[in-house]
Amino acid sequence: MSDSITIGFVPLSAAAKSVLVLFTDESLKFGSASAKILGGTAETVKRAASAARFKGKAGAALDILAPAGLKAERLIVIGTGKAGALKAEDYIKLGGQISGRLKNAPAVTVVAELAGGAFKPADVAAVASGIRLRAYTFDRYKTKKKDDDDTPKLAVSIAVSDVSAAKKAFAPVDQVTDGVIVARDLVNEPPNVLYPEEFAKRAAQLRKLGVQVEIFDKKAMTKLGMGALLGVAQGSVREGRMVVMRWNGGKKGDKPVGFVGKGVCFDTGGISIKPAGGMEEMKGDMAGAACVVGLMHALAARKAKVNAIGAIGLVENMPDGNAQRPGDIVKTMSGQTIEIINTDAEGRLVLADVLYYVAKTYKPQFMVDLATLTGAILVALGTEHAGLFSNNDELSERLRLAGLATGETVWRMPLGAAYDKLIDSKFADMKNTGPRYGGSITAAQLLQRFVNETPWAHIDIAGTGMGAPSSDINTSFGTGYGVRLLDRLVADYYEAKK
């Protein structure tokens, strides 16, 4: 499943295993260790490159039977583009391109250098992470092995100039990679297995890493007055849950950072039911919550020097005799009332109560929520950027930069009074949908009514958290989007430096 791969680091001089992976840029020159391994076969490799029209372009690879004289059986040369053009954020993709080619390869040596020199430890770590992320598959429910599945364990040795520096750099990156895989697993699980109570149990596993986990059931949430979350939950035979996770890696008394996730374990739309086509994908409507759990895993596993709160609202949005109706008015924990126009706009109802709870209880430095909130964000941004909405320019800019650094990019969208008034209601303080146009923005406006003065950002991951097309580092339904982004945000701006 997720861990059919082991990664180790060896010195650059180590002997090549059955598959040898080298890098070259458009100069088609090799680094000195690679050249030494190739020895007299370099000329043959050159001929193979020219025959295959391989020019070292980024994304291209030469994948051949190893020439006689090499210890390896197979040689893969990965192109990296123009000499000197590789940026820090590109290395994870190189790793992905490697493991994308390694099906059925038992033992692999990757020589981490270019003609310009050996990779830096941080870049080596990124390559290793990319190898793991691309190798991830979710096959827990497949009972038949495929015929060509004869190598259950893939062992990758990365040859580096400084083994101990590479190990040291990879340790935290490996733990964040684990967090991404935790998130992907949750998103990929089927909804009959992963309903709110079971999701809460999985989040509770974080206790093993020293995270404090508090689970709120229906009774506890009723006591808190969470009428909006409970209104969504009431249509399902599976009770809703709120889970609050706390990682105290910072100084005692330091204000925590807060992360909130939409955890709709299945979204049928409720009484405003969705069309049948593609509805199975709505098992992924808990990708925001999955990301928050994956992030808390990452922060705790790498012992981040920060106090962090993760809170997730878990419900199932079902049509039922007891389901809420369009026209219903619910009372949120904040005291504000919401008229339900469309029961399919349920995520904002769940988040309204959880955001308010976190702001009020923990007074965090900031809150970031993640939610597969609107189809409209897919119309606006496709699957390349997540939509970013915020009441705070500094937090927005930090998220933008963390996005560029990790490749989990965000694009800022507007908020404002002219949009806000579109959700005023005739009968209640607000309604849960606005006009058809600007649907992602009016959804964000509703959330903003529950955060008061807390610096806050909302990330709409409907296009990036689930069902995105395959990439260099992911081929599964659940992407784990947001774990690396928010881990980076914390590491770069909110962690006490060692």
Q: How many residues bind Mn ion (CB under 5 A)?
A: 3
CA distances from 275 to 38, 251, 280, 477 (A): 58, 50, 11, 20
CB of 316 to ligand BES, least distance (A): 12
DSSP three-state, residue 498? coil
Rounded Cα–Cα distance for residues 31 and 21 (Å): 12
Strand positions, DSSP E, 350-396: 367-371, 386-390
- C-beta separation of 289 from 183 below 8 A: no
The CB-of-441 to ligand BES minimum distance in angstroms stands at 11
462 binds, among Zn ion, Mn ion, ligand BES, none (CB under 5 to 8 A by kind): ligand BES
Helix or strand or coil: residue 271? coil
Cβ 235 vs Cβ 322: under 8 Å: yes
Q: Pick from ligand BES, Mn ion, Zn ion, none: which does 376 bind, CB < 5 to 8 A by kind?
A: ligand BES
DSSP helix/strand/coil, 235: coil
Q: What beta strand segments (E) does 341-450 contain?
A: 367-371, 386-390, 410-412, 430-431
- Cβ-contact 336, 430 below 8 angstroms: yes
Q: How far is the CB of 213 from Zn ion (least distance, A)?
A: 24
Which one of the listed residues 274, 305, 360, 400 is annotated catalytic? 274
Dist CA 193 CA 185 (whole Å): 12
Of 252 and 436, the one with the shorter C-beta distance to ligand BES is 436
| 369 lies in the binding site for Mn ion (CB under 5 A) | no
Comparing CB distances to Mn ion, the nearer of 344 and 408 is 344
Report the residue number whose CB is nearest to ligand BES: 375
Q: How far is the CB of 3 from ligand BES (least distance, A)?
A: 28
Beta-ladder partners of 63: 76
Q: Which is nearer to ligand BES, 477 or 493 (CB)?
A: 477
Stretch that binds Mn ion, among 50-58, 93-101, 266-274, 447-455 (CB under 5 A): 266-274
Q: What are phi and psi of 261, to 5 degrees?
A: -130, 140
Q: Which residues bind ligand BES (CB under 6 A)?
A: 267, 285, 342, 344-347, 372, 374-376, 433, 439, 462
**Is residue 344 part of the contact set for Mn ion (CB under 5 A)?**
yes
Please, what is the minimum distance in Å from the beta carbon of residue 266 to ligand BES?
A: 10
**Of the two residues 121 and 191, which places its CB atom closer to ligand BES in the complex?**
191
Which residue matches tokens 């260790």?
33
Q: Which stretch binds Mn ion (CB under 5 A): 251-259, 286-294, 343-351, 476-484?
A: 343-351
Specify the residue, 31 or 269, whose C-beta has the smaller distance to ligand BES.
269
Task: Report which residue's Cβ sits closest to Zn ion.
Answer: 267
Please identify which residue in 267, 328, 339, 487 interacts with Mn ion, judged by CB under 5 A: 267
Query: Which range, of 155-163, 185-193, 341-349, 357-365, touches Mn ion by CB under 5 A?
Result: 341-349
Catalytic position from the list 17, 120, 283, 348: 348
Verify whether residue 348 is a known catalytic residue. Answer: yes
Nearest-angstrom CA–CA distance, 256 and 40: 59
Counted residue by residue, the chain has a size of 498
C-alpha dihedral over 337, 342, 345, 346, to 10 degrees?
60
Alpha carbon separation from 373 to 271, 287, 342, 355, 368 (Å, rounded): 18, 10, 14, 14, 14
374 touches, from Mn ion, ligand BES, Zn ion, none (C-beta below 5 to 8 Å by class) = ligand BES
DSSP-assigned beta bridge partners for residue 474: 471
Helices (H), 52-153: 91-99, 121-135
Residue whose CB is less far from ligand BES, 349 or 402:
349
Contacts with 252 (C-beta within 8 Å, 6 or more apart), sequence order: none
Question: Which is closer to ligand BES, CB of 78 or CB of 350?
Answer: 350
Contact 231, 320 (CB under 8 A): no
Footprint on this chain of Zn ion (rule: CB under 5 A):
264, 267, 285, 347
State the nearest-atom distance from the C-beta of 443 to ligand BES, in Å. 7
Select the residue whose beta carbon is closest to Mn ion and give its number: 344
The residues assigned a catalytic role are 274, 348
Q: Which residues bind Mn ion (CB under 5 A)?
A: 267, 344, 346
